[in-house]
Copies of this chain bind each other. A is one copy, B any other.
Amino acid sequence: MDACPFEKQHPSQLQKDALFFMQLAYNQALEAWKIDEVPIGAIVEKDGHILGMGYNQVERTRDATAHAEMIAITQAARALGDWRLVGCHLYVTKEPCPMCTGACILSRLDTVHYAVRDPKMGGLGGGLSIHDIAGLNHRLKIDIGVLEEECRTLLQTFFHLKR
């Protein structure tokens, strides 16, 4: 296992915009790398407050459902005391897979911001467009590309060193 060669980001608290929260998601991704997991991180935010954060820990928990987004969504639901994450925004360093896309729709998130597209397994436009299926009673908003280069380099470097 190679030590993570990347440093945490330190965004200013003065401007809590999409970049700010994606930088925190990036920091979560570094936590995944530290335990030798694929470095993906996620944050759930509402009105400037962080309600959930998570990083991929499939291997550590030995649970295929322990993706960053699932952990952050479950945490946010606990914080709100409601499974409806109305007015909440998810920030995640890679496009959600079909499982996590489904969870985003079911939990009625307002917007999903993702940094890097996943043309193979992405569920929000990359491999599939699950958010576009007819008859959904909730429509997600999507925002793509915040902190894209850094998040892409993180993933590519991880897989490069793994080989």
On A, residues with C-beta under 8 Å from B are 58-59, 61-66, 70, 73-74, 77-78, 81-85, 97-103, 105-108, 120-121, 123, 127-128, 130, 133-136
- 24 A-B residue pairs with Cβ-Cβ distance under 8 Å, sorted by A, are A62-B82, A63-B74, A63-B78, A63-B83, A64-B73, A64-B83, A64-B84, A64-B106, A64-B108, A65-B73, A65-B74, A65-B106, A97-B106, A98-B98, A98-B101, A98-B105, A98-B133, A99-B99, A99-B102, A100-B102, A101-B102, A102-B123, A121-B133, A128-B133
Q: Chain A binding site: helix, strand, loop or mixed by DSSP?
A: loop
Contact with A78, one of B62, B70, B130 (Cβ below 8 angstroms): B62
